[in-house]
Chains A and B, each alone.
Chain A
Amino acid sequence: SQQGEEDPQALSIQEGENATMNCSYKTSINNLQWYRQNSGRGLVHLILIRSNEREKHSGRLRVTLDTSKKSSSLLITASRAADTASYFCATDGWGGGADGLTFGKGTHLIIQP
C-alpha cells in the first residue's frame, strides 16, 4: 500500500514564484526523502531529512518534517523552467531503506515561462 501521498497532484505556477508540495505518510519512519523525475528519466535524489530533524535546506530547496503530523513539505523558491518535473516523497521506515523505499504518487510541477 502507498505510504506517502503528495498534495497537490499537479501544480502550475509562473517562473520566479515559489512552489510548495506536501507529503503525508502513515507509519513511523527513519527518514524521508524527496526525489525529482524529469519526463522519460529516472528519479534523482534531492534531499533527505531524518526523523529527528525538523527542517533542512539545499540551495533553493527547503524541506520540513513534522513527525507528529506524519507530514513533510518541499518548498522550491524562485522557480525556473528547468524545475518542471514530477516530485516524489519516499519513506524508508525503521529498516533504514535496506528493504526499499515507499513512494507517494507524486506532484507534477509545471513552471510557466
Chain B
Amino acid sequence: DAGITQSPRHKVTETGTPVTLRCHQTENHRYMYWYRQDPGHGLRLIHYSYGVKDTDKGEVSDGYSVSRSKTEDFLLTLESATSSQTSVYFCATGHAGQPQHFGDGTRLSIL
C-alpha cells in the first residue's frame, strides 16, 4: 500500500541491542497496528494505537513498547532484542469495522 511506509525494510542486529521500527502513514487513519508474522503462526497483534498517545497491548506484547506522538507515525521498540523476536513485522492502519491497510513489512533478524 503506497500510503504506508515501513522502515527499515531489513535489519540484522545482535541480541541485547535496542531496535526501533517505524511506520509512517499518509492515510490519516485513526488506528494503527503492529503485527508479527512467523511460520506456523500467521499474523499476531503486538500493540495498537487508537489515537495520538493512546496505545494498548495485543496478544504478544511482552518485550515490545510503542509510541505514537503524531497521527502519521507509529514506532515499535524492542528494548533489548532477543532471538525469539526474529520475525517479519507488519504495520497496518485503518478505521474500526473497515479493512486494514498494510505496509510491506520489516524483516528483522536477531543474531
Is B90 within 8 A of A43, CB to CB?
A: yes
Is A92 within 8 A of B97, CB to CB?
A: yes
Is A45 within 8 A of B41, CB to CB?
A: no
Grouping DSSP codes into helix (H, G, I), strand (E, B) and loop, the B interface class, with mixed when no group exceeds half, is: strand
Q: Is A78 an interface residue, CB under 8 A from the partner?
A: no
Q: Is A96 an interface residue, CB under 8 A from the partner?
A: yes
* A41-B104, A45-B100 known; A97 vs B42 contact (CB < 8 Å): no
Nearest CB of chain A from residue B25's CB, rounded to whole Å: 13
Q: Is A30 an interface residue, CB under 8 A from the partner?
A: yes
Is A42 within 8 A of B1, CB to CB?
A: yes
Q: Is A71 an interface residue, CB under 8 A from the partner?
A: no
Is A96 within 8 A of B96, CB to CB?
A: yes
User: Which range contains the number of A residues in contact with the other chain?
Assistant: 20 to 34
Q: Is A102 an interface residue, CB under 8 A from the partner?
A: yes
Q: Which of B43, B50, B90, B103 has the most CB of A within 10 A?
A: B43
CB-CB under 8 A from A96, the residues of chain B are: 96-97
Q: Which of B40, B48, B99, B101 contacts A105 (CB 8 A)?
A: B40
Is A100 within 8 A of B33, CB to CB?
A: yes
Q: Which of A30, A43, A99, A102 contacts B56 (CB 8 A)?
A: A99
Nearest CB of chain A from residue B102's CB, rounded to whole Å: 3
CB-CB under 8 A from A30, the residues of chain B are: 97
Is B97 within 8 A of A31, CB to CB?
A: yes
Given contact pairs A102-B45, A104-B42, enumerate 4 new A-B contacts (beta carbons under 8 Å).
A48-B98, A97-B100, A98-B97, A100-B35
Q: Which 8 interchain pairs have the tightest Cβ spacing?
A: A42-B102, A45-B99, A98-B96, A100-B45, A96-B97, A105-B42, A103-B43, A96-B96
State the A residues within 8 Å of B (CB).
1-2, 4, 30-31, 33, 35, 40-45, 48, 88, 90, 92, 95-106
